[in-house]
Amino acid sequence: MKPTKGPVVSVIIPTYNRKQTISRAIESILNQTYQDFEIIIVDDGSTDGTDVAIHSFTDPRIRYTHHEHNRGAATARNKGITLARGKYIAFQDSDDESLPDRLERQVEVLNCNSEIGIVYGDMIRVFQDGHERLIKTPNVGLNHAETYNALISFKAESVGIGTCVVRRSCFEQIGYFDANLHRFEELDFFIRASKLYHLYKIDAPVIKYYEVNRDENKILNLALSARKYLLKKYYKEISKDRICLAIHYFGIGNDLCYLGNIQEGRQYIWRSIQLSPLKIKYLIALLMSFAGSNTYHTVVKQKNEILFNIKKIFYR
């Protein structure tokens, strides 16, 4: 008996306690202009009734699996990849919404160029007060070396996996997401993929990204751990470029100081200055660290809020 032909696209939706938003995410895929897909939902240990919301859908293209305990987004996405039957794998976060022509546009790009392994796009951020802002993701280019350098120096960290459709062979050749990472796991995957495939950006939004309340300290601690892990993982490549290494040292140092670990943070910032002594931002951060953790945290938080509000006004 011949095997049943699978869909062209497998859409993987990892979810954890998203009862209020999972239906919107699923509906945004079901309403796509491109319909040759399956949806694989990996419930990563939800306890809030997310499964009830999922099971209210009866479309046979929806496949559901769950973990007994929360294991993290990377592990959930990896589980989805192992179950996927499509030659292209799309990712959708369970609190986001894909725009109607997303899959159609991204599949067309992959069909037309076999050297492209990942197609991504811009995002529309929807704030809690209802207004929207276009988020432009960086274009990392079609040159392997240029793309790799942009990724490894964190210049392209805002490329979200939730905007991506990935060629299955990408995972078959370079492996899945690194489950040791609980932040920046997509960046690590892009770094590895860029050595073999091109990344292509559609210059238009492909998803709506909804603002939700998050534990800032938890996110920053996860980001800090991920930064340290990635620096160690790619140190041989990163250390070839003094500026790139300085960027990593400063990123870690700034996070440490912001979270209150001034002594260790100052050591990383000082390393960044030794590598890039003319970078004014690094010098200011070092001076601020001597004012104490409360002052450092307050100044950085206020600066970020001012920049954030300016952008909100500009994009209204």
pLDDT in tens, 137-189: 888 866 777 788 888 888 767 788 999 999 999 999 999 999 999 999 999 99
Q: Map tokens 């306890």 to a residue.
A: 47
Tell me, what CATH number does 184's domain have? Answer: 3.90.550.10
Residues 116 and 233 in one domain: no
Residue 191 and residue 213: Cα distance in Å, rounded?
A: 29
Asked if the model's pLDDT at residue 315 lies above 60, the reply is no
Q: If pLDDT is split at 50, 70 and 90, which confidence band does 211 have?
A: confident
Structural domain count, the chain: 2
pLDDT in tens, 85-123: 999 999 999 999 999 999 999 999 999 999 999 999 999
Q: Which pLDDT value is given to residue 278?
A: 93
Residues 199 and 105 in one domain: yes
Residue 4 and residue 281: Cα distance in Å, rounded?
A: 58
In the chain, the percentage of residues whose pLDDT exceeds 90 is 78
pLDDT in tens, 183-194: 999 999 999 999
Residues 261 and 132 in one domain: no
Domain final residue, candidates 180, 210, 240: 210
Q: Which pLDDT value is given to residue 2?
A: 37
Give me the helix-helix angle, 242-258 and 293-314, nearest 10°.
110
Q: Which pLDDT value is given to residue 142?
A: 62
Q: Which pLDDT value is given to residue 154?
A: 82
Residues 258 and 180 in one domain: no
Task: Sort 33 into a burial class: Cβ within 10 Å, 0-12 / 13-18 / 19+.
Answer: exposed
Residues 108 and 193 in one domain: yes
Residues 52 and 184 in one domain: yes
Q: Which two tokens stand for residue 296?
A: 């450092």
Residues 92 and 192 in one domain: yes
In a domain, 179, yes or no: yes
Residues 148 and 234 in one domain: no
In a domain, 65, yes or no: yes
In a domain, 4, yes or no: no
Residues 206 and 226 in one domain: no
Q: If pLDDT is split at 50, 70 and 90, which confidence band does 3 have?
A: very low
Residues 173 and 266 in one domain: no
Q: Which pLDDT value is given to residue 307?
A: 67
Q: Which pLDDT value is given to residue 304?
A: 74
Domain final residue, candidates 189, 210, 231: 210
Residues 85 and 188 in one domain: yes
In a domain, 142, yes or no: yes
Whether pTM exceeds 0.95: no
Q: If pLDDT is split at 50, 70 and 90, which confidence band does 227 have?
A: very high
In a domain, 3, yes or no: no
Give me the helix-helix angle, 262-275 and 242-258, nearest 10°.
160
Tell me, what CATH number does 272's domain have? Answer: 1.25.40
Name the amino acid, one letter, at 3: P
pLDDT in tens, 40-90: 999 999 999 999 999 999 999 999 999 999 999 999 999 999 999 999 999
Domain final residue, candidates 145, 175, 210: 210
In a domain, 262, yes or no: yes
Residues 86 and 203 in one domain: yes
Q: Which structural domain range is residue 40 located in?
A: 9-210
Q: Which pLDDT value is given to residue 311?
A: 59
Q: Which pLDDT value is given to residue 1?
A: 30
